[in-house]
A and B are shown apart, each in its own frame.
Chain A
């Protein structure tokens, strides 16, 4: 109905301007295409197929409509118009087809000869479904909206490295014939296994863009920066939107303008899969903390010379572009004697469509308690640069903190001044100067303990004990033998006093003289008396005085008498011997009593 009216208009215009202008579109490209009323239809519906060309041709050859039965056609229509001096021409052959079975069917190629050349249409696929309720109904607003709305997720990189920034931009393509009044996100996608940051879209700018070769208007609805946290195939959940659209209908209102129909559409961007490449194991530095990007690294201290119990700040800072929020800052290795407080995290990171950039820093407050030098060794920071596809390691400078004044150790730190008036001498220990005197010994000198020398010294003195014991025992034995002792004593005394007499044993005169002399000598030595005072009575008196017993005294006197007698009477040798023995016994007896 509509078609016929249009054709009628074209014919009128054609008649009016046909003779005025020559064939203006002579040089334009020839098109020959197949148009389908629907791509999906129920078995009880009908399909309209139209083969349209913009130049007149001959020998039209329709395809075999396998799976369809031709209900009507071919019907031909030609329209030609001149608008602003341009001629437009179109000719079409149309068929009405009725599907014969369910399933997917392909409508093959039609051919035509235009200006001596053969043109072909592209084959199209048609899906035949089960019977529908309302066959041959015109396209609903939903169908139109379906065709003219496309939500697409554009991913900046399909196979990023682990922790490399990926941006996902959700774009809505809207066909020019419908208008979107409002939209509402149904389901915000959760980016599992990703660190995500949404970059809010403040203003929706429409841009004219082509999508699948057709002109569309496009709007960016959502932008997200993703940092994959896991290697392997990761899915990005689709974004679903509910859209309120106005779809033009074929009906017109009283004034001839189109009636728009409201439709409510849910669109979703297809599921996308990212293939996340793990960071190469080869050449991975030891202290790699997962940083990916381009960075700069430094460690600074607020001061290097200070007094004990003052504080200083050490800042470990990483700046640049990359996953700044997603890695651990390296920790400085500080001497254990320094008091270090929990670091204060400081970040200044902007997230743009290109990823994060800025700097992150850890501020350590350090309070040295004791005097000394504290070196802070250089620490390293490693990151993976996805551009050069290699690991980079940066090292900080070595810093030495010099604590000049203050106690040297705990013990001193706790002892404070006790008396108020007393000026306490600071007891803080200082670092001692080297020793100026040394008693250098040979390195090979051995330990004394456990050496042979040690054992000799330890046991040699003990040998003296049995030695002394032995000597002592011998002495005691000899002390205990009384009879032997007496004999020994007598012998000794006899040797002392009677040795002269003994020599004279063969000569009686000489013997008795010597004996008498010996006895007198003995008394002289023992009683301390002079020779001139010797008389028997005096000797008896003296001996009595010294309490020498009677028998010994009488024996002594007897001996003296026999000495006197021997001067006048002959004495036998036997008698002489007897007297000698007797005298030695008397002397020994007397010696004990004196």
Chain B
């Protein structure tokens, strides 16, 4: 009985230690990185991930470490991962550009129509979570505005409150719609990064089929479906094909 309680205490202590440990590891990794020991820094970051913690900064730093070691695939992979958590961070985008310069493939993106451009600029301005928070805030404001409108006697104040309530309600509905579109976009896409130096994309998920094109390390693809250990992918210029699943790493695999 006594032993059991000691065990529990130890477990709790370990838990608390674990909580503080991640921050310590993060600091250690920063020091190692600054000294140029990128491999050691990567190990520290991986320890943090093993503890079940992550953040966009952590992935960004991992990307930096791999970039310094000339590892194209992992570096792009971690930058993209950081961008998933923090889609509008300029530093991440900047370093991702550097990493993408090392890439061999130059894929022309499909030209976007005016509609998709508009859609992208509006929907992707905020993450779905941010749209969600905005919607909640606007709903609260709407309710307050509506009550004010109802309670006030003065015609001018009433008018102002009415307009404000309507505007906030509109913004709230708009935010919810945008949030849905954004999260729909995110869910429909399953981006992955190619890790092998060169992969041959075939027309069918087997070794006998015809070679369609080849991709190189660090290229971002979208996984459409999987069959056994083959994945159907789509690249930025709209081409599709099958490749062995072991050659790529899915970004949403947190």
Q: What does the 1/0 interface line of A363-375 toward B look like (CB < 8 Å)?
A: 0000000101111
Contacts of A334 in B (CB 8 A): 104
Q: How far is the CA of A447 from the CA of B100 in the complex (A)?
A: 29
Q: Is the CB of B61 within 8 A of A449?
A: no
Q: Is the CB of A468 within 8 A of B147?
A: yes
Closest partner residue, chain A, to B19 (CB atom): A440
Q: Is the CB of B61 within 8 A of A435?
A: yes
Q: How far is the CA of A565 from the CA of B47 in the complex (A)?
A: 103
Q: Is the CB of B30 within 8 A of A373?
A: no
Is residue A510 contacting chain B, with contact meaning CB distance below 8 A? no
**Smallest CB separation, B4 vs chain A (Å):** 27
Name the segment of B109-117, B134-142, B201-209 touching the other chain.
B134-142
Q: What does the 1/0 interface line of B139-153 toward A look like (CB < 8 Å)?
A: 110110011001100
Q: How far is the CA of A448 from the CA of B132 in the complex (A)?
A: 7
Q: Is the CB of B98 within 8 A of A435?
A: no
Q: Is the CB of A400 within 8 A of B150?
A: no
**Smallest CB separation, B55 vs chain A (Å):** 5
Is residue B57 contacting chain A, with contact meaning CB distance below 8 A? yes
Contacting A at CB under 8 A, from B138-191, are 139-140, 142-143, 146-147, 150-151, 172, 176, 179, 182-183
Q: Contacts A374-B101, A409-B97, A443-B53 hold; do A461 and B143 have CB atoms under 8 A apart?
A: yes
**Smallest CB separation, A408 vs chain B (Å):** 7
* Partner of B129 from A335, A336, A434, A449 at Cβ < 8 Å: A449
Q: Contacts A439-B55, A448-B132 hold; do A336 and B105 have CB atoms under 8 A apart?
A: yes
Q: How far is the CA of A334 from the CA of B146 in the complex (A)?
A: 63
Closest partner residue, chain B, to A378 (CB atom): B197
Q: Contacts A333-B104, A443-B54, A468-B150 hold; do A449 and B128 have CB atoms under 8 A apart?
A: yes
Q: Is the CB of A374 within 8 A of B146?
A: no
Contacts of B54 in A (CB 8 A): 440-441, 443
Contacts of B102 in A (CB 8 A): 335, 337, 372-375
B-side interface mostly:
helix
* Partner of A335 from B103, B132, B183 at Cβ < 8 Å: B103
Contacts of A465 in B (CB 8 A): 143, 146-147
Q: Is the CB of B136 within 8 A of A440?
A: no
Is residue B40 contacting chain A, with contact meaning CB distance below 8 A? no
**Smallest CB separation, A471 vs chain B (Å):** 10
Task: Beyond A375-B72, A444-B52, list 4 extra A-B contacts (CB 8 Å).
Answer: A375-B70, A431-B67, A443-B52, A465-B146
Q: How far is the CA of A469 from the CA of B146 in the complex (A)?
A: 10
Q: Is the CB of B61 within 8 A of A440?
A: no
Q: Is the CB of B55 within 8 A of A438?
A: yes
Q: How far is the CA of A374 from the CA of B98 in the complex (A)?
A: 10
Contacts of A436 in B (CB 8 A): 30
Contacts of A462 in B (CB 8 A): 139, 143
Is residue B58 contacting chain A, with contact meaning CB distance below 8 A? yes
Contacts of A440 in B (CB 8 A): 22-23, 26, 48, 53-55, 58
Contacting B at CB under 8 A, from A429-465, are 429, 431-444, 447-450, 454, 457-459, 461-462, 464-465
Is residue B46 contacting chain A, with contact meaning CB distance below 8 A? no
Is residue B1 contacting chain A, with contact meaning CB distance below 8 A? no
Interface residues, chain A, CB within 8 Å of chain B?
Answer: 333-337, 370, 372-375, 377, 400, 408-409, 429, 431-444, 447-450, 454, 457-459, 461-462, 464-465, 468-469, 472
Is residue B249 contacting chain A, with contact meaning CB distance below 8 A? no
Q: Is the CB of B97 within 8 A of A443?
A: no
Q: How far is the CA of A528 from the CA of B55 in the complex (A)?
A: 74
* Partner of A372 from B60, B98, B129 at Cβ < 8 Å: B98
Q: Is the CB of A377 within 8 A of B61?
A: no
**Smallest CB separation, A416 vs chain B (Å):** 21
Q: How far is the CA of A432 from the CA of B33 in the complex (A)?
A: 13
Q: Is the CB of A438 within 8 A of B179?
A: no
Contacts of B136 in A (CB 8 A): 454, 457-458
Contacts of A374 in B (CB 8 A): 101-102
What are 10 A-B pairs at a CB distance below 8 A? A333-B198, A375-B70, A375-B102, A408-B97, A435-B57, A439-B57, A440-B23, A440-B53, A462-B143, A469-B150
Is residue B254 contacting chain A, with contact meaning CB distance below 8 A? yes
**Smallest CB separation, B78 vs chain A (Å):** 11
Contacting A at CB under 8 A, from B85-105, are 91, 94-95, 97-98, 100-105
Q: Is the CB of A461 within 8 A of B26?
A: no
Contacts of A335 in B (CB 8 A): 101-104
Q: Contacts A440-B48, A468-B147 hold; do A449 and B58 have CB atoms under 8 A apart?
A: no
Q: What does the 1/0 interface line of B217-249 toward A look like (CB < 8 Å)?
A: 000000000000000000000000000000000
Is residue B106 contacting chain A, with contact meaning CB distance below 8 A? yes
Q: How far is the CA of A377 from the CA of B216 in the complex (A)?
A: 11
Q: Is the CB of A370 within 8 A of B143?
A: no
Is residue B133 contacting chain A, with contact meaning CB distance below 8 A? yes
Q: How far is the CA of A144 from the CA of B152 in the complex (A)?
A: 136
Contacts of B142 in A (CB 8 A): 461
Q: How far is the CA of A37 from the CA of B105 in the complex (A)?
A: 81
Is residue B195 contacting chain A, with contact meaning CB distance below 8 A? no
Is residue B49 contacting chain A, with contact meaning CB distance below 8 A? yes
Closest partner residue, chain B, to A434 (CB atom): B61
Q: Is the CB of B133 within 8 A of A458?
A: no
Q: Is the CB of B53 within 8 A of A441?
A: yes
Contacts of B176 in A (CB 8 A): 458
Q: Is the CB of A435 within 8 A of B197?
A: no
Q: How far is the CA of A62 from the CA of B97 in the complex (A)?
A: 102
Q: How far is the CA of A415 from the CA of B22 in the complex (A)?
A: 43
